[in-house]
Amino acid sequence: MSLLVVGSVALDSVETPFGQKEDVLGGSATYFSTSASFFTPARIVAVVGEDFPEAHVSFLKGRGIDLEGLTRVPGRTFRWKGRYGYELNEAKTLDTQLNVFQTFSPELPAAYRDTPYVFLGNIHPELQARVVDQVRSPKLVAADTMNFWIQGSREALLKTLQRVNLLFVNDAEARQLAGEHNVVKAARAILGMGPQRVVIKRGEYGALLFEKDHVFACPAFPLAEVFDPTGAGDTFAGGFMGALATATSDIDSTVLRRAMVMGSVMASFTVEKFSLERLREVTHPEIRARFAEFRKLTHFDDLGPLER
Amino acid sequence: MSLLVVGSVALDSVETPFGQKEDVLGGSATYFSTSASFFTPARIVAVVGEDFPEAHVSFLKGRGIDLEGLTRVPGRTFRWKGRYGYELNEAKTLDTQLNVFQTFSPELPAAYRDTPYVFLGNIHPELQARVVDQVRSPKLVAADTMNFWIQGSREALLKTLQRVNLLFVNDAEARQLAGEHNVVKAARAILGMGPQRVVIKRGEYGALLFEKDHVFACPAFPLAEVFDPTGAGDTFAGGFMGALATATSDIDSTVLRRAMVMGSVMASFTVEKFSLERLREVTHPEIRARFAEFRKLTHFDDLGPLER
């Protein structure tokens, strides 16, 4: 089933301890849709400027992504510049130029309005709500957010959360949103704000999925070389939602767990190279093989007798 | 099969955001042996002073722990005082009084020398080596260590590691020991120092087991109330080694995975209350039930078809 993402398409400049790149393809909608496109038809609502390279448009088209909702307007494309230290868990933002993204107001093409799976990338919660206004009886609406909105637009965010079925946040955001240090308590508090599920992303430590009566823990894939963590969270969400959209049964715990692992699988590829370089080349057999690796990484046998 | 631990028996004073306790039972050998005693007969080599309460001795005896190697000498028992903030991941040490522990030199009773499973608690690496000198063909020697020895007694530690089959460290210690920031690279470097296995403990994020050709990731149990993390690492090691000692087959990846989970199960109980309070009351059915919870927490189904 098809999948809609609303978010940023950007040009990123990134410095890591292992190298640097200028004006490479980035943005939440880009990572999300590319990741999801391995599993399900994806659709973008986003905006770029006149300077956005046609080669990037071709790449997204080549991945089968529906770009009817990608508008090109006068001005420059959204630019983000960040630097990672050896910790690699959090970027230091060096520069943000919103450019054409500043006046972005998501308008869904008529053909998008019946999309069953909707991902609201990290934009102003009022814009996220405006997207929900435009879709007709979606099967699942998921959203991302960040400290900036949690602090600065809390009321709007809480309103939007009432209309969201699943929230993706990192652990610091979860704590801030809930006003609870303990991550389990924070998750429960968020489940009381509207979403029936919350995914708490913890970078190199993996991710937790909380539902009312279930918790699922998925580790991050232990990689000896993490090159560039940019986009890992959106790639995770794309793999997660993409896997969800392929499910032939109801969205139950079984389906959600597989989605968690697929999110982790896709994120583990993204961080292996700069920008979307690894996602450009990764294959379905590689994805399947890494999914199998995750089972080896996490599964164990039933308990035998406990002697004394 | 029996299990020997050499380490500290202490009186701890602990402050957490949830309360404080003075001179409660603590020490690496105490947590380790109590945790292990749920699975296998445990033996202690440690020292206490004249002030060590007889009630604590009775408790350990009551758990079936062999105390022939627990000597009582003139002077005061080792005391540690620490404080945790809301992070709960690392204690701030407020005071350490080594007392009788300062001149501790582990001497194994004759009956201990054939113990098949040996755990070298966090003491000077030369003392750890002296323990290995005294055991005859053990099945497995495991060790703990800390930043103090990694930095201050590196040569002695590297010598001891040559005689150790399994090392327990936290992630900061692993990085420091290996001189590698990436945890996978750090683990590989440690495997090159002697041990065939290394367990990297990551507090609330769980633990990783590295062997030459396998990695296993076990999450920490998501608890809404973490009361006092003191002793979690030694409880983990005790549950791990205790489960290992009950294995009827060779120490292979299957057995080690189960040990990892049992270590996590036992640690998850310890942190629920102060000192060893939770370990005093926990039951085998509770342990089995939490082990089963870990399977629910981590397991997921095979990948079905990936549509596009």
Chain-centre distance for alpha carbon B65: 16
Check if the beta carbon of residue A35 is closer than 8 Å to that of residue A56.
no
Q: How many CB pairs under 8 A join A and B?
A: 134
Alpha helices in chain B (DSSP H): 28-36, 54-62, 125-134, 147-152, 154-161, 171-178, 183-191, 232-245, 253-270, 277-281, 284-298
- Check CB contact under 8 Å for B298 and A303: no
| A63, burial (CB in 10 Å: exposed 0-12, middle 13-18, buried 19+) | middle
How many angstroms away from the CA of B207 is the closest CA of chain A? Answer: 10
**Contact state of A222 with B217 under an 8 Å Cβ cutoff:** yes
Q: β-pairing, A117-120 with A3-6?
A: parallel
pLDDT, residue B18, reads: 86
Sign of CA dihedral A183, A189, A195, A197: positive
Q: Which residues of chain A from 173 to 192 reach within 8 Å of chain B, CB to CB?
A: 181-185, 188
CA closest to A205 among chain B residues: B205
B266-276 tens-digit pLDDT: 999 999 999 99
Which chain A residues touch B182 with a CB distance below 8 Å? 223-226
Report in angstroms the alpha-carbon separations of B198 from A49, B75, B129, B232.
Answer: 51, 37, 18, 17
Look at residue A71 and give its three-state secondary structure. strand
Give B20's contacts (C-beta < 8 A, 6+ positions apart): B13, B14
Cβ of A248 and B304 within 8 Å? yes
- Of B188, B158, B186, whose CA–CA distance to B173 is shortest? B186
> Which chain A positions have a beta carbon within 8 Å of B86's beta carbon?
181
A146-193 tens-digit pLDDT: 999 999 999 999 999 999 999 999 999 999 999 999 999 999 999 999
With a CB cutoff of 8 Å and minimum separation 6, the contacts of B63 are B33, B34, B37, B42
Q: Residue A78 carries which DSSP code? A: P
In chain A the domains, ranked by start, together with CATH numbers, are 3-298 (3.40.1190.20)
pLDDT in tens, B104-142: 999 999 999 999 999 999 999 999 999 999 999 999 999
Of the candidates B205, B291, B164, B189, which has an alpha carbon nearest to the alpha carbon of residue B240? Answer: B291
**pLDDT at B308 exceeding the cut of 50:** no
Please tell me if residue A101 touches chain B, with a CB cutoff of 8 Å: no
Of A201, A165, A166, the residue nearest A183 (C-alpha): A201
Say if the Cβ atoms of B222 and A184 lie within 8 Å: yes
Q: Is B215 within 8 Å of A297 when comparing Cβ atoms?
A: yes
What is the pLDDT, as a whole number, of residue B306? Answer: 67
Spatial contact of A1 and A139, defined as CB atoms under 8 Å apart: yes
- Closest-CA residue of B relative to A187 is B224
Q: Kindly give the confidence (pLDDT) of every residue in chain A, 308 residues in length, as a single tens digit, with 9 standing for 90 and above.
A: 899 999 999 999 999 988 899 999 999 999 999 999 999 999 999 999 999 999 999 999 999 999 999 999 999 999 999 999 887 777 899 999 999 999 999 999 999 999 999 999 999 999 999 999 999 999 999 999 999 999 999 999 999 999 999 999 999 999 999 999 999 999 999 999 999 999 999 999 999 999 999 999 999 999 999 999 999 999 999 999 999 999 888 899 999 999 999 999 999 999 999 999 999 999 999 999 999 999 999 999 988 776 54
Edge-to-edge strand ranges of the sheet holding A66-72: A66-72, A42-48, A3-6, A117-120, A140-144, A166-170, A197-201, A207-210, A215-218
**Bridge partner residues of A69 (DSSP):** A45
What pLDDT, in 10s, does the model give residues B15-33? Answer: 998 889 999 999 999 999 9
Given an 8 Å threshold on Cβ–Cβ distance, is B258 in contact with A291?
no
Instruction: Kindly identify which residue of chain A lies nearest to residue B205, measuring between CA atoms.
Output: A205
Nearest 5°: phi and psi at A263? Answer: -60, -45
Distance in angstroms (rounded) separating the CA atoms of residues A167 and A191:
9
Q: With contacts defined as CB-CB under 8 Å, which chain B residues touch A226?
A: 182
Q: Is B216 on the interface with A (CB under 8 A)?
A: yes
- The verdict on A299 touching B (C-beta cutoff 8 Å) is yes
Beta carbons of B300 and A258 less than 8 Å apart: yes
Task: Collapse the DSSP code of B32 into the 3-class scheme (helix H, G, I; strand E, B; otherwise coil) and give the result.
Answer: helix
Place of tokens 């849709």: A33
Long-range contacts of B171-177 (CB under 8 A, 24+ apart): B171/B200, B171/B201, B171/B202, B172/B147, B173/B145, B173/B146, B173/B147, B174/B198, B174/B200, B176/B147, B176/B150, B176/B151, B177/B145, B177/B150
- pLDDT at residue B88 is higher than 80: no
**Rounded to an integer, what distance in angstroms lies between the CA atom of residue B262 and that of residue A305?**
13
Residues with Cβ within 8 Å of residue B277, at least 6 apart in sequence: none
